Amino acid sequence: MKIRPAKTEDAEAIAVITNAIIRDTLVTFTTEERGTDGIARDIQARGPAYLVAEQSGQVLGFATYGPFRSGPGYAQCCELTVQLAPEARGQGVGRALILSLETAARAEGIHVLVAGISSANPAAISFHAALGFSEVGRMPEVGCKWGKRLDLVLMQKILAADGLVAPDSRDLGR
């Protein structure tokens, strides 16, 4: 398996993965399936912030990040998405994608990655925790899908970039 930057030609395979998740699970609160044109535009716009895992020419999953919120004060904070084909789950593919995504984020000066996770997906909460993400909030019943009210679990990981000191370990001169 290799992790590489996504290409617009990957949009169809990514659509198959993401649309099955949209259609068949409570993992995302989204109910509208994505078209390949929109995915291809996202790939072009995000560049190194859009990765795929590939094996024998087959896309097994993808990970990407984009703005968390608008405004210059949030420029170094991004929200990530990682999704895998069913046959790739539990094989280390997600871990490899996230670790590679963190490297890309650090190179772009991103300081914090945020994951917004459906409470109906406890495996994703455990997965992110195992990769060093901390739960920083729960927003009860903000999502609704299939007539169910769902909580949004917010997790984050601070990426201490080379040469920078994380705020909690700064010498504040005291």
Give pTM, 2 decimals: 0.89
pLDDT of residue 166: 43
Rg (CA), the chain: 17
What domains lie within the chain, and their CATH numbers?
2-160 (3.40.630.30)
Do residues 106 and 76 touch, judged by C-beta distance below 8 A? no
Half-sphere exposure (Cβ direction) of 9: Cα atoms closer than 13 Å: 5
**pLDDT tens track for 25-72:** 999 999 999 999 999 999 999 999 999 999 999 999 999 999 999 999
Largest CA distance in the chain: 56
Separation of alpha carbons 66 and 139, rounded Å: 21
Burial class (CB in 10 A: 0-12, 13-18, 19+), 92: exposed
Instruction: Give me the percent of the chain exceeding a pLDDT of 70.
Output: 92
